[in-house]
Amino acid sequence: MLQLFTHHRSVSAHRVRIALNYKGVSYKSIFTDLDRAKGDRLSYLNVNPQGLIPALWAEDDLVISQSSAILEYLEERYPERPLLHGDIAQRARIRSFAQIAIADTHPLNNLRVLRYLRDGMDVAYAKRRQWFEHWIAKAFGPMESILSAQAEASDNLSYCFSDKPSLADVCLVPQVSMAERYDVNLSDYPTLRRIYRSCMTLAAFQAADPDTQPDTR
């Protein structure tokens, strides 16, 4: 069975949980809190030398780090319920949209960056908050523009690019969830909020939600 090293607050792990659930893949969650004792952190480095969440133990000699690599692996190993669907142009659009979250937004707003601003650079809370909301807006503005145009051209789709979830939805939902958790005003992004609500009617997305994870307690 696959083993996922995860934490309820991790946006990257949230993506992977959604994909695993959507594809109906059985896996064991190994709840990993990198704020715990030093010995636990050192032990996890044997699994993932970068020390970041998530990691997927796929086989005895294969541990995959980086959520984008894990998502690609799952798509190739479990193709029955694809998250990359449609023609080559559609799949390119899905990949491009997903990368706004994976590559351009989350790396700037993840916990280790915010902690470095606080502890390494002594940046005050108000300025850290300004940083966080700035990069959210830089992502959500273009995302809203892309998806509102897509919805208008395709008769108000329930999901990002078609009538079923794709990798784009898998990457959008954790970003919106994080923004809601930190009380970011999302009134300028009605299409993102509508698609988020559509996704959250699905069991695969509900079961992956940070608030439903056992390590929240």
- HEC sequence for 46-115: CCCCCCCCCEEEEECCEEEECHHHHHHHHHHHCCCCCCCCCCHHHHHHHHHHHHHHHHHHHHHHCHHHHH
Asked whether the beta carbons of 168 and 97 are under 8 A apart, the reply is yes
Residue 152 has pLDDT above 80, yes or no: no
Distance, in Å, from the CA atom of 58 to the CA atom of 56, rounded to the nearest integer, reads: 6
The tokens describing 19, both together, are 């994909």
Q: Where are the domains of the chain?
A: 2-81, 88-205
pLDDT band at 36 (very low <50, low <70, confident <90, very high): low
Q: For 106-116, what is the mean pLDDT?
A: 93
Residue 42 has pLDDT above 80, yes or no: no
Tell which CATH architecture fits domain 88-205.
Answer: Up-down Bundle (1.20)
Q: What is the pTM of this model?
A: 0.94
Residue 38 has pLDDT above 60, yes or no: no
Where does 2-81 sit in CATH, by number? 3.40.30.10
Q: Which amino acid belongs to residue 170?
A: V
